[in-house]
């Protein structure tokens, strides 16, 4: 009987734009299949993706969409529902994001109700890293209220405890899962707070400590990925997840429900008693050096200037809040939060700006540097996965909801979540995050920032260096900076997107005044 599991994509899983038809000969029709090692790593990862969605996980959801031009859209029902048909290969997030996390060595939180295949996907990632299905399953850490640090990391050897005269002499029997390339923690919101802190050290620092002994958790090849599961990410579970650990989740992926039209396949599996992780084709397993090479290739994908500018603009919206402080630099959401204040109230008190146009007013916090770094890495990963030479805006847009979920928090008192047709966004965080990124890009275009960006021009001038800049030229640039500030002052309104520009102008002013003082002193 044919092995129904062992079927890989025979043809390339993505096609690049070609120049013409390459000539072939009749002998080419009988060429043997290329060796598995000859398959480029990105093609291998795509083959892995298609194997998982076609064979292993029943997931007919294509929510990570890519289209050239506007996709074909159908309005459905009477509540504004719309189904779109993307024109380019699109993907299932609950398979793609874990796979990208495996590729970049990231930390993926899978959320959703019980029985939605979260652990199955995580176990598949473990098998892809070269471990046997039994080892991976044995290594899954089951979160439960009695889980101690010793349960998690290992115990000191009783013999040493009896004989040692100092902690340094106590050997620790470390748990085997600690050095696996793929680590899985099930129901992490049921783990006691103290044990969560030990987990945080492992996740954040890559080592674990017990009885003055330390053990690195990264495998020899250096690439380790973490998969956590939880039934929700809104504070449910036996213990609240400590914020620092929650922040370490690079991406949050909701598990999809089961599509009833695929019941036949489910019945076939029940009858055969088969588990997908026991049937992963050997060709799809990534050796340690392949994982290292894959991560290096992903990091090398360039981010073009146009994409950087839009990302920079998007980031600029969220830190500022008009009534957050008195001194200009302290008018931030962080100032309010660290003082125990309520950001929503500070936003509401701002009567000067249009709350619908000010994207920053929709969030309770700003974006952290860590979140931004993660967004860049995952945008590179999806561009590489799609066979692209550089990161496009579509790649960034596709990753925004998964990276920023749980990191960019919605302001529930904003009018957008309160009234009208968009109330569903108060529960659909993913769509809201996609929407604010799209809106940021629309504002970028409307403001003509792609063609006219005076603050960027001034920054470029200073990045070129001040060597040889005359005192007269420095004074001229100072005047230009003050003119920009005067123009901003004249508008009477202040948005989050202006905050970074204005602080950057102050920085430039400091650089030029210091230089001018030095130049005049030397003269």
Partner 1 sequence: VIRRPGHLADAEPPTAVPADVPGLDLERAATIVRASGGSAERFRHAFAAGQAHLPPDTATDRLVALAGVAGWRAGVLGLRADAFGHLADLPRTAASAALGLAESDLDAFLERQRTDRFWWPGRTAQRGYVCAVGGFAGLGGAWTAPPTETRPLDDEGSFAVLTGQRWWRVDADVWGSRLVPLEGEPSAVGGGAGRAASLLTFAESYLAWVHVAERA
**Does 28 interact with partner 1 (rule: CB under 8 A)?**
yes
* CB closer to partner 1 out of 86 and 454: 86
Per CB under 8 A, 2 contacts partner 1: no
146 is an interface residue for partner 1 by CB under 8 A: no
Q: How far apart are CA 255 and CA 113, in angstroms?
A: 8
Closest separation between CB of residue 84 and partner 1, Å? 10
Q: How far apart are CA 315 and CA 363, in angstroms?
A: 12
Q: Which is nearer to partner 1, 31 or 327 (CB)?
A: 31
For the CB of residue 180, give the shortest distance to partner 1 in the complex, in Å.
37
Adjacent-strand bridge partners of 332: 320
Q: How far apart are CA 408 and CA 317, in angstroms?
A: 11
> Mask of contacts with partner 1, 30-69, x by CB under 8 A?
xxxx----------------------------------xx
Angle made by CA atoms 288, 247, 92, in degrees to the nearest 5: 60
Q: Name which of residues 83 to 112 contact partner 1 (CB under 8 A).
A: 85, 87-88
Which range touches partner 1 (CB under 8 A), out of 6-14, 106-114, 400-408, 497-505? 6-14
Pairing relationship of beta strands 213-216 and 172-174 according to DSSP bridges: unpaired
Q: Give the pair of three-digit tokens for residue 182.
A: 């793929």
Number of amino acids touching partner 1 (CB under 8 A): 28
Encoding tokens for residue 92?
A: 């299932």
Integer distance in angstroms from the first to the last C-alpha of the chain?
90
Q: Which stretch binds partner 1 (CB under 8 A): 14-22, 35-43, 305-313, 360-368?
A: 14-22
* Percentage helix, strand, coil for the chain under 3-state DSSP, each rounded to 5: 55, 10, 35
Q: Between 369-385 and 93-104, two packed helices, what is the crossing angle to 10 degrees?
A: 100
Computed from CA positions of residues 217, 218, 219, 225, in that sequence, does the dihedral angle turn out positive or negative? positive
CB of 68 to partner 1, least distance (A): 5
Region near partner 1 per CB under 8 A, out of 19-27, 107-115, 223-231, 267-275: 19-27
Angle at 206 between CA 200 and CA 209, to 5 degrees: 70
Among 27, 168, 270, 300, binds partner 1 (CB under 8 A): 27
> Interface residues for partner 1 in 483-522 (CB under 8 A)?
none
Binder of partner 1 out of 22, 37, 446, 523 (CB under 8 A): 22
Sequence-separated (6 or more) residues with CB below 8 Å from residue 145: 190, 191, 192, 238, 239
11 forms part of the interface with partner 1 (CB under 8 A):
yes
Nearer to partner 1, 29 or 490 (CB): 29
Q: Which residues of the shown chain bind partner 1 in the complex (CB under 8 A)? A: 10-12, 15, 17-18, 20-33, 68-72, 85, 87-88
């Amino acid at each position: 009987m044919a092995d129904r599991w062992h079927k890989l994509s025979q043809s390339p899983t993505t096609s690049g734009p070609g120049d013409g038809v390459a000539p072939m000969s009749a002998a080419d029709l009988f060429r043997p299949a290329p060796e598995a090692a000859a398959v480029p790593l990105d093609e291998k990862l795509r083959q892995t993706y298609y194997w998982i969605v076609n064979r292993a996980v029943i997931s007919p959801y294509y929510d990570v969409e890519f289209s050239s031009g506007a996709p074909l859209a159908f309005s459905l029902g009477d509540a504004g529902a719309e189904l779109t048909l993307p024109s380019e290969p699109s993907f299932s997030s609950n398979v793609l994001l874990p796979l990208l996390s495996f590729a970049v060595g990231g930390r993926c939180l899978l959320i959703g109700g019980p029985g939605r295949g979260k652990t199955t996907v995580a176990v598949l990632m473990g098998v892809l890293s070269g471990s046997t299905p039994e080892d991976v399953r044995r290594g899954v850490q089951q979160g439960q209220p009695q889980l101690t640090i010793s349960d998690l990391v290992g115990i000191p050897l009783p013999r040493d405890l009896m004989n040692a005269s100092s902690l340094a002499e106590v050997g620790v029997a470390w748990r085997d899962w600690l050095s696996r390339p793929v680590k899985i923690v099930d129901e992490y919101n049921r783990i006691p707070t103290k044990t969560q802190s030990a987990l945080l050290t492992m996740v954040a620092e890559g080592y674990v400590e017990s009885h003055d002994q330390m053990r690195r958790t990264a495998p020899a090849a250096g690439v380790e990925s973490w998969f956590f599961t939880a039934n929700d990410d809104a504070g449910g579970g036996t213990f609240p997840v400590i914020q620092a650990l929650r922040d370490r989740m690079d991406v949050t992926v909701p598990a999809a429900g089961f599509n009833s039209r695929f019941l036949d396949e489910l019945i076939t599996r029940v009858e055969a008693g088969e588990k997908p992780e026991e049937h992963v084709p050997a060709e799809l397993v990534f050796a340690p050096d392949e994982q290292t090479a894959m991560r290096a290739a992903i990091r090398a994908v360039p981010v073009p200037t146009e994409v950087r500018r839009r990302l920079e603009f998007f980031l600029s919206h969220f830190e500022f809040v008009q009534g957050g402080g008195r001194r200009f630099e302290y008018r931030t959401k962080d100032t309010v939060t660290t003082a125990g204040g309520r950001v929503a109230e500070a936003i509401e008190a701002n009567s000067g700006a249009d709350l619908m146009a000010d994207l920053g007013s929709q969030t309770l916090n700003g974006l952290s540097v860590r979140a931004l770094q993660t967004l860049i890495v995952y945008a590179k990963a999806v561009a590489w996965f799609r066979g692209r030479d550089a990161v496009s805006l579509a790649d960034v847009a596709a990753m925004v909801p998964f990276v920023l979920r749980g990191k960019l928090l919605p302001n529930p008192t904003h009018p957008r979540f309160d009234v009208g047709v968009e109330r569903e966004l108060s529960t659909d965080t993913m769509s809201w995050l996609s929407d604010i990124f799209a809106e940021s890009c629309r504002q970028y275009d409307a403001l003509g920032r792609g063609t006219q960006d005076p603050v960027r021009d001034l920054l470029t001038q200073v990045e070129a260096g001040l060597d040889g800049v005359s005192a007269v030229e420095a004074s001229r640039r100072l005047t230009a900076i003050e003119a920009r500030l005067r123009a901003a002052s004249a508008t009477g309104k202040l948005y989050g997107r202006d905050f970074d520009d204005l602080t950057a102008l102050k920085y430039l002013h400091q650089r030029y005044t210091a230089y001018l003082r030095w130049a005049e002193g030397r003269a």
